[in-house]
């Protein structure tokens, strides 16, 4: 089985180890005999969304987000079509914000988003920084690292409930968003290596969409869970 992943603008959107998410997906596919091809997308001219299975968008500074919004707007209709068709997408922090309608920086600059979901984000002067622990229905506890000035409020299903940290806005106790097979989250870290159930969910959902099959061979995740437990402990004691 073959899957194709687009890593959108990794030269601009790649903070706090975000690329590790792509490596985690590739490794967990490889260990099961699934070939995950990775295309680093630097221009929307190189994209053919009808042949892609997983879209990854990392985080970026306000400046870097501003550099790629014009490119992203060129694909927003095709992207939306794929999302409604069940494509798997993981978007982190700055990438997550750009799934909405717009992001207003603390200087008042407006970065237009792709309007995949109906929400927007607004930055405050202070940043929300630190290790974060959330509890999710689908994936159990999830650990990561956050560093953002943007606050996001939405009425979609959140990825989880904040146990320690800030999440979407530091106020309503929610973190991230789930819409069809799209996961948006403020969690860098990177999120996937330490939270393999999310990685496997993304792989399974894309296999189901492409091949109608989603059973995955079980892997030994003892090291991943040890890393997660360690991060959880640090989160709860600091």
Q: Which residues bind ligand GLN (CB under 6 A)?
A: 15, 59-62, 65, 93-94, 123, 147-150
Question: Taking the complex as a whole, how short is the minimal distance between the CB of residue 145 and ligand GLN, in angstroms?
Answer: 9
Closest approach, Cβ 191 to ligand GLN, in A, equals: 12
Please list, in sequence order, all residues whose beta carbon lies within 8 angstroms of the beta carbon of residue 70, skipping any fewer than 6 positions away: none
Of the candidates 29, 82, 89, 93, the residue annotated as catalytic is 93
> Contact at 8 Å (CB) between 164 and 128?
no
Q: Is 201 a catalytic residue?
A: no
Q: CB of residue 42 vs ligand GLN: minimum separation in angstroms?
A: 18
Other C-beta atoms closer than 10 Å to the C-beta of 236 total 11
Closer by beta carbon to ligand GLN, 61 or else 197: 61
Shortest CB 113 distance to ligand GLN, Å: 12
* Burial class of residue 63, CB neighbours in 10 A (0-12, 13-18, 19+): exposed
Instruction: Indicate the residue whose CB is closest to ligand GLN.
Output: 59
Q: How far is the CB of 199 from ligand GLN (least distance, A)?
A: 20
Q: Which residue has the tokens 């995740």?
A: 221
In terms of CB distance, is 48 or 70 closer to ligand GLN? 70
Quick one: 15 or 117, whose CB is closer to ligand GLN? Answer: 15
Using the 8-state DSSP alphabet, how is residue 109 labeled?
Answer: P
In the residue annotation, 93 being an active-site residue is answered as yes
First to last CA, the chain: 44
The rounded distance, in Å, linking the Cα atoms of 127 and 134 is 19
Q: Annotated catalytic residue: which of 111, 120, 148, 188?
A: 188
Identify whether the C-beta of residue 1 lies closer than 8 Å to the C-beta of residue 203: no
CB-nearer residue toward ligand GLN: 154 or 209: 154
Rg over alpha carbons for the chain, rounded to the nearest Å, is 17
Nearer to ligand GLN by C-beta: 89 or 123? Answer: 123
Sign of CA pseudo-dihedral 6, 162, 178, 110: negative
**Residues noted as catalytic:** 93, 188
């Amino acid at each position: 089985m073959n899957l194709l992943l687009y890593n959108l603008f990794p030269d601009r959107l790649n903070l706090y180890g975000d690329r590790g998410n792509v490596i985690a997906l590739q490794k967990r596919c490889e260990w099961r005999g699934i070939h995950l091809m990775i295309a680093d997308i630097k221009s929307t001219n190189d994209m053919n969304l009808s042949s892609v299975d997983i879209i990854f968008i990392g985080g970026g500074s306000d400046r870097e987000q501003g550099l790629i919004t014009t490119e992203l707007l060129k694909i927003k209709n095709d992207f939306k079509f794929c999302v409604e068709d069940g494509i798997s997408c993981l978007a982190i922090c700055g990438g997550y914000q750009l799934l909405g309608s717009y992001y207003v920086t603390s200087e008042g600059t407006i970065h237009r988003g792709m309007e995949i979901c109906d929400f927007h984000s607004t930055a405050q002067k202070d940043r929300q920084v630190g290790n974060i622990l959330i509890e999710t229905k689908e994936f159990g506890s999830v650990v990561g690292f956050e560093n953002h000035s943007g606050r996001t409020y939405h009425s979609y299903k959140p990825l989880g409930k904040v146990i320690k940290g800030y999440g979407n806005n530091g106020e309503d106790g929610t973190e991230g968003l789930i819409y069809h097979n799209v996961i948006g989250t403020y969690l860098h870290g990177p999120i996937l290596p330490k939270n393999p159930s999310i990685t496997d969910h993304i792989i399974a959902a894309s296999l189901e969409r492409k091949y109608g099959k989603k059973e995955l061979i079980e892997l030994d995740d003892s090291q991943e869970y040890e890393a997660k437990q360690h991060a959880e402990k640090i989160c709860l004691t600091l």
